[in-house]
Amino acid sequence: MAAEAARAKEFEDKRKDEFLGYLDAWNSDRGNWRFSKVKQKWLLANMYDRKKINKEHFKVLLKYLGGMTGQRREILLGEANKFISECEAIQAQKDSNDTQTEINNTGDTTDINPQPKKITKEMKVKLKRCRFIVQLFGQEKTEEGKTEQ
């Protein structure tokens, strides 16, 4: 069982290197670089995972995404804005609960709201990367649902 897991990890690492190599080739040798939908899909599916795409490769990925147009660009922007909104809602709930706890600090240990969802380290990384995506594409939804440049 452990041998199978080790082989699976080795295969995954080899594939990851292949996909990141595709991105590096785009960045440094576009004359010989060839588009691959499979590799692009992997990059897009894993762009928020810092274990798969490190900070340096994410910077290159942002340049790669800068040339993206059309529906895929709109989908990425929508997903990024949605995640940002979700994190802001979690933070607002946490802030509200912190205030409520201060108000209820009269010796009564009952809280109105149970433990709020917390923003994890992985979520913070994704949030930061989502903000880069929004900045790259130049649009962010305001609270009224309108977009601003």
Write down the domain spans for the chain: 1-67, 69-104+114-149
Rounded to an integer, what distance in angstroms lies between the CA atom of residue 95 and that of residue 73? 33
Residue 58 CB contacts under 8 Å (≥ 6 apart), including other chains = 47, 50, 129, 132
Q: What is the pLDDT of residue 148?
A: 47
User: For position 144, what pLDDT does the model report?
Assistant: 44
Spell out the per-residue pLDDT of the chain, length 149, in tens. 788 888 888 888 889 999 999 999 999 999 999 999 999 999 999 999 999 999 999 999 999 999 999 999 999 999 999 999 999 999 888 777 655 555 555 555 555 555 557 889 999 999 999 999 999 998 655 444 454 44
